[in-house]
Amino acid sequence: MTSEFDLIARYFTRPAPAGMLGVGDDCALFSVPDGHQLATSTDLLLEGRHFFSDVDPASLGHKALAVNLSDLAAMGAKPIACVLGLGLPELDDAWVAAFAKGFNALSDRFGCPLIGGDTTRSTTGLIISVTVFGAVPTEHALRRSNAKVGDDIWVSGELGAADVAYRLLAGRLPQDQHRLEATRHALEWPEPQIALGLALRGVANAALDVSDGLLQDLSHILKASGAGAHIEYAALPVAEGLRADADDQAKGARIALEASALAQALLGGGDVYELCFTAGVDRRDAVLTAAQHAGVNVTRIGRIRATPGITVTDQAGEHLDQLPSGFDHFQAI
Amino acid sequence: MTSEFDLIARYFTRPAPAGMLGVGDDCALFSVPDGHQLATSTDLLLEGRHFFSDVDPASLGHKALAVNLSDLAAMGAKPIACVLGLGLPELDDAWVAAFAKGFNALSDRFGCPLIGGDTTRSTTGLIISVTVFGAVPTEHALRRSNAKVGDDIWVSGELGAADVAYRLLAGRLPQDQHRLEATRHALEWPEPQIALGLALRGVANAALDVSDGLLQDLSHILKASGAGAHIEYAALPVAEGLRADADDQAKGARIALEASALAQALLGGGDVYELCFTAGVDRRDAVLTAAQHAGVNVTRIGRIRATPGITVTDQAGEHLDQLPSGFDHFQAI
């Protein structure tokens, strides 16, 4: 019978980089560079709540680490290492091997070795707990609390695809295989914007990653910074797989369900893992240079203002009503 | 409706100590002292597997942190901070308040503030994930791999009580209210031996905490150090609540079930969270001084030898047969 120790050893134990102590002692050990602080983030992912039971295990391994690396990106931190807690319903070697492959590939790509963990049997579905560690120069982290009135609001990449894919898979949007194919990659293989986060140090004033929905996440910046925001709906970077819908909506085509679903996806959709950040108007060139350096697109979507709250206007300058709220893990799934 | 954010804020968010960034940003931030490495450990605890559904929530909050602090103790690391992932079946304020009280009390006592976390709804029972961070002077951690042939083997505190309490509660030993009362505290309120771990730096050669059972845990030291061990059964520090049983056994009283249950508890019982460590024979006084400084008892229970494997002998020098193995979380619960 495969034991807990065999399982860890077979798929996850890799030689720890020089200077680190990895799996196989009471604690993992590593150093933080001089003049840096340690940045850490943890996420708990549960089967049936954060992912579907039949999800591709390689994509799940990727995503479990990606969502945590995204938190490092949002602080401007450089990855150092990670640990993994795994509650497994059964010892399915092929499943664990595929999960480890997705996890290890991303770990290798971002120089974030797995140096410790805890594996246990779960009789109630798969449980994944990832904690990542990164380093950021002391006092140079991208905080949420530093947005200034007048700042541009930016977002990296595109919005909406992950939410639409989730709703299609959950049966909350009418079946549409073409649309699912166009959006699913965003949901299952999010790319943490580490390079952008590093490039934005000293450029952005405030930053976070969009995990619960643009408006809800932006509200955290606003609350922490004591400010409000205005968002231009037409400026939002619509995911490529949704652009036909957006064009239909702009033309006034009468597809009300699509319009509301699109607005929900862009403004309220979670699982995006792009960075939303603010920077002074005089830093626009610096932001674009940072984005170019990181190889990602960034889009200006609004401004920070003194008046509390968030308003969203359409191309005609009209306020959008019925703004979607974000995804609260304690609200209905 | 209480939301995820309210819940975290109400019971767990406390002002982060100076120089740290706590709950409320993408990452928590803290510094590691110059000349120190970061030590980290993570544990995943599941309802029905690691604790009973009707466990006292205050003791569970205590234990969830204690088992991780115990890993820091075993490395000789000083606690810095911790993060908590919590999957909650339902929003029971009183339960969460009691859990937080147990967790926060231990966190305060060991200077290990909660600086981040992730809370989510779980439909499949309670899930607890704790990751702790500590600091240890570079190259001075208590590793598993450094036991030397001829070293004394020591254990702190007492053995056996937690295992007997667990078996009584699980119905695997005949009901015995008196015995349960005498052993339950050890199972539910383990005390991490942080002070001892710190005092043993530079004194002990190898160390770990006994979480899966003395023999199984000791085998990790032996494997990592390329050595074997001899244990004297009569030298094992029997928990106070079990001493009558031990006396009966020593007198040869015919209570076979008790004798085997006691041997199982002492040699194979998990959930102990005492330190097992090795030190040179010439360091006996230093070990006792360290223990006195930490305010705990330590007991010499055997020796490291070159011959692989572990032998256990009784008072007459006879080898004990049928040694219990430890608790592997993937073997039968």
Mind telling me how many Å the CA of A4 is from chain B's nearest CA? 5
Task: List, for residues B124-135, the tens digit of each pLDDT value.
Answer: 889 999 999 999
* Interface contact A129-B129, CB threshold 8 A: yes
Determine whether the interchain pair A30/B38 forms a contact, defined as Cβ–Cβ distance below 8 Å. Answer: yes
The pLDDT value recorded for residue A331 is 37
CA–CA min distance A230, chain B (Å): 22
Q: Is the pLDDT of residue A298 over 50?
A: yes
The verdict on a CB contact (< 8 Å) between A31 and B46 is: no
Please answer yes or no on whether B27 and A77 come within 8 Å at the CB atom. yes
B4-137 against B152-313: fold identical: no
**Mean per-residue pLDDT over chain A, rounded:** 88
Residue B229 vs residue A255, higher pLDDT: B229
In this predicted structure, what is the pLDDT of residue A23? 72
- B152-313 has CATH 3.90.650.10 classification: yes
Q: What is the mean pLDDT of chain B?
A: 88
Confidence of residue A330 (pLDDT cuts 50, 70, 90): very low
Res B9 pLDDT > 70? no
Confidence of residue A9 (pLDDT cuts 50, 70, 90): low
Tens digits of residue pLDDT in B139-189: 899 999 999 999 999 999 999 999 999 999 999 888 889 889 999 999 999
Nearest-Cα distance to chain B for A122, in Å, is: 7
At A248-274, the pLDDT tens digits run 666 554 333 367 888 999 999 999 999
Q: Name the pLDDT band for B3 (thresholds 50, 70, 90).
A: low
CB burial readout A17-27, b (16+ within 10 A) else e: eeebbbbbbbb
Tens of pLDDT along A195-231? 999 999 999 999 999 999 999 999 999 999 999 999 9
B120–A32 CB contact, under 8 Å: no
Condensed to tens digits (0 to 9), the pLDDT of residues A151-170 reads 999 999 999 999 999 999 99
Tell me which chain A residues have a C-beta less than 8 angstroms from the C-beta of B84. Answer: 42
Residue A329: list chain B partners with CB under 8 A: 4, 119-121
pLDDT band (50, 70, 90) for residue B254: very low
State the nearest Cα–Cα gap between A289 and chain B, in angstroms: 24
CA Rg value for chain B: 20
Give me the mean pLDDT over the A88-116 stretch: 91
Residue B13 above 80 pLDDT?
no
SS3 assignment for chain A:
CCCHHHHHHHHCCCCCCCCCECCCCCCEEECCCCCEEEEEEEEEEEECCCECCCCCHHHHHHHHHHHHHHHHHHHCCEEEEEEEEEEECCCCHHHHHHHHHHHHHHHHHCCCCEEEEEEEECCCCCEEEEEEEEEEECCCCCCCCCCCCCCEEEEECCECHHHHHHHHHCCCCCCCHHHHHHHHHHHHCCCCCHHHHHHCCCCCCEEEECCCCHHHHHHHHHHHHCCEEEEEHHHCCECHHHHHHHHHHHCCCCCHHHHHHHHHHHHHCCCCCCEEEEECHHHHHHHHHHHHHHCCCEEEEEEEECCCEEEEECCCCCECCCCCCCCCCCCCC
Model pLDDT for residues A63-74, shown as the tens digit of each residue: 999 999 999 999
Q: Which of A27, A51, A75, A198 to mutate to test the interface with B (most CBs of B within 10 A)?
A: A27
Contacts of B333 in chain A (CB under 8 A): 121
B247: enclosing H helix or E strand: helix B243-250
- Mind listing the pLDDT tens digit for each residue in A286-296? 999 999 999 99
**Residue B315 above 90 pLDDT?**
no
Mean per-residue pLDDT, B206-213: 95
Q: What is the pLDDT of residue B217?
A: 94
Classify domain A4-137 by CATH number: 3.30.1330.10
- Does the beta-carbon distance from A119 to B333 stay under 8 Å? no
**Sequence ranges of the domains in chain B:** 4-137, 152-313
Q: Assess: ipTM above 0.90.
A: no
How many beta-carbon contacts under 8 Å exist across A and B? Answer: 224
